[in-house]
Amino acid sequence: MNTNNKGRGRSAASKPTRSSKKKVDSKKAGSAKSTTKKGPVKATGPKSETSGKRDVTIKEKRKYSDFKERVKKGDPLPKFNDDAIRLNKFLSNAGICSRREADVLIETGVVSVNGKIITELGFKVSLTDVVKYDNQSIRAETKRYVLLNKPKGFITTMNDPMGRKTVMGLVANACKERVYPIGRLDRETTGLLLFTNDGDMAKKLTHPKTKCSKLYDVELNKGFNADDMERLLKGVDLEDGTSKFDKVEFVKDGTSRELGVEIHSGKNRIVRRTFEALGYEVVKLDRVKFAGLSKKDLPRGNYRHLTEKEVAFLKMS
């Protein structure tokens, strides 16, 4: 009897009661709900609401890494900084001499800044500094930007030994500063040509990395075959490399001989030579756009000065 009672006591103690079962079941259900409960959905926009940082995509990372690799090749692009420039560049911009010649002048001790002789080649000056060469004060030239709508019959050069007409005669009265053409147009080509005394701007617009865009109106000696359009876009082999156009299309309301082409290459006579390689002769060639500048309201043979907005655009682009 005692043994049976003990056994019954142990079995009774080991079995959970109905109330305890309900408590356990309710705890399990609660834990299940807590595990299946979804948290707040994160914002997928360009910026996170909590951190305020922009999520950089893989495509953007790849683009940035490609840019870093590109800028390592060749000469660096110029930086536009009017606050402080090298002393040799200051002398060159003032029309005293070239930069190399300015280095010689600095080393010989004939250049002073604010009354102190400077012999350090990397020395920088600001526009408020008083620079003297051979005891004569020097003022930096004002930067000038002159846009010309070039007519036919003028060659792009500073002077011609053969006495032919040059583009410099067309802008002789544009400013007292001596300006230089950026790039060139051949004698029979018309259209936009930019002049400046800003060396950094000239270097930027002619640098291969800038890919300065140029838009031309072209008239050929015969109708253009549409099949050749793909060849111009893919690339045409020339003696000095491959010529590849960015855009090619027929002129609206024009004939099959008239085309509009966009190209960023600055090689000599590149448009004419490319069409000649395909069996065409360029009869008329007119540059209607250069680096985003248009010849609108600029008659042939006339020039105008760029606005501050246009200059800022060229520096940023």
Secondary structure letter of residue 185 according to DSSP: -
pLDDT tens digits along 107-138: 999 999 999 999 999 899 987 889 999 888 88
Kindly list the catalytic residues.
Answer: 186
Q: Which domains does the chain have, with CATH numbers?
A: 85-138 (3.10.290.10), 145-208+298-316 (3.30.70.580), 214-290 (3.30.2350.10)
Whole-number Å distance between alpha carbons of 40 and 43 = 9
Q: Where are the beta strands (DSSP E) in the chain?
A: 85-86, 111-113, 116-117, 124-125, 131-133, 136-138, 145-150, 180-181, 190-196, 214-220, 236-238, 241-243, 247-250, 258-263, 282-290, 293-294, 303-305
pLDDT tens digits along 229-253: 999 999 999 998 999 999 999 998 8
pLDDT tens digits along 254-303: 899 999 999 999 888 999 999 999 999 999 999 999 999 999 999 999 99
Q: Report CA torsion sign: 258, 262, 263, 264.
A: positive
Whole-number Å distance between alpha carbons of 78 and 89 = 13
Residues 298, 149 contacting (CB under 8 angstroms): yes
In this predicted structure, what is the pLDDT of residue 200?
85
Is residue 7 pLDDT above 50, yes or no?
no
Question: What type of residue is 7?
Answer: G
pLDDT > 70 in the chain, percent: 74
Of 279, 300, 275, 288, give the one whose Cα is nearest residue 217: 288
- To 5 degrees, how large is the angle CA 250–CA 251–CA 254? 110
